[in-house]
Amino acid sequence: MTPPVVHVQYDSLERQHVTARLGMWVFLASESLLFAGLLALYAAYRFAYPAEFHAASAHANLVIGTVNTYVLLTSSLTVALAIHATRRGQRRRTVALLLATIALGLAFDVLKAIEYAQHLAEGLAPGGYYTHDALPARGTVLYVTLYYLLTGLHALHVTGGLAVLAWLTVRAQRGDFTPGAHIALELGGLYWHLVDLVWIFLWPLLYLIG
Given the complex with another protein, which of 112 and 182 has the nearer CB atom? 182
| Interface with another protein, residue 58, by CB under 8 A | no
CA distance 48 to 164: 39
CA distance 155 to 108: 9
| Interface with another protein, residue 92, by CB under 8 A | no
| Interface with another protein, residue 129, by CB under 8 A | no
User: Are 200 and 208 a contacting pair, CB within 8 Å?
Assistant: no
| Interface with another protein, residue 43, by CB under 8 A | yes
| Interface with another protein, residue 70, by CB under 8 A | yes
| Interface with another protein, residue 38, by CB under 8 A | no
CA distance 182 to 70: 28
Q: Which of 77, 94, 87 is nearest to 174 (CA)?
A: 94
| Interface with another protein, residue 106, by CB under 8 A | no
Q: Which of 72, 100, 97 is nearest to 84 (CA)?
A: 97
Helices (H), 49-182: 50-57, 62-87, 91-121, 138-174
CA distance 108 to 177: 27
CA atoms within 13 A on the CB side of 192: 33
Binding mask 144-163 for another protein (x = CB under 8 A): --------------------
| Interface with another protein, residue 200, by CB under 8 A | yes
Binding mask 162-191 for another protein (x = CB under 8 A): ---------------------------xx-
Kindly report the number of other CB atoms within 10 A of residue 110's CB atom.
Answer: 11
**Residue count at the site for another protein (CB under 8 A)?**
50
CB of 15 to another protein, least distance (A): 7
Residue ranges binding another protein (CB under 8 A)? 11-12, 14-15, 17-18, 21-22, 25-26, 28-30, 32-33, 36-37, 39-40, 43-44, 47-48, 50, 66, 69-70, 73-74, 76-77, 79-81, 83-84, 87, 189-190, 193, 196-197, 200-201, 203-205, 208-210
